[in-house]
Amino acid sequence: MLIITFNQDMAHIALLCSRVLIQMFLVVLLRCRIINAHLRFQSISRELDIRDFYLLRASKTLGVSFVVLIDLFIAQRHFFCEVF
């Protein structure tokens, strides 16, 4: 019974984390679109600010983390369904 409760908790935590990551990813994606639109109107020779560079990298990291959490959630749900 302890293992089943643990799996339910892990699935719930993965779902909550994925929701938070979705929100964070959407905010970063919106910011990256603003940066890209801003760069289009400026000269091509302008280099990215260090903040912009790390923001673009963060969007990739958040995207990968989101995919990993979704995979974890699906795996937990699959295991939980097999127990029953």
**Count of Cβ atoms closer than 10 Å to residue 49 Cβ:** 10
List the end-to-end C-alpha distance of the chain, in Å, as a whole number: 12
For residues 49-75, give the mean pLDDT.
64
Which contacts qualify for 48-56: CB closer than 8 Å, 24 or more apart? 55/28, 55/31, 56/32
Q: Which H/E stretch holds residue 49? A: none
pLDDT band for position 84 (cuts 50, 70, 90): very low
pLDDT for 8 equals 66
CA 49 to chain centre: 23
**What is the reported pLDDT for 2?**
45
How confident is the model at residue 66, as a pLDDT? 63
Q: How far apart are CA 2 and CA 7, in angstroms?
A: 9
pTM to 2 decimal places? 0.39
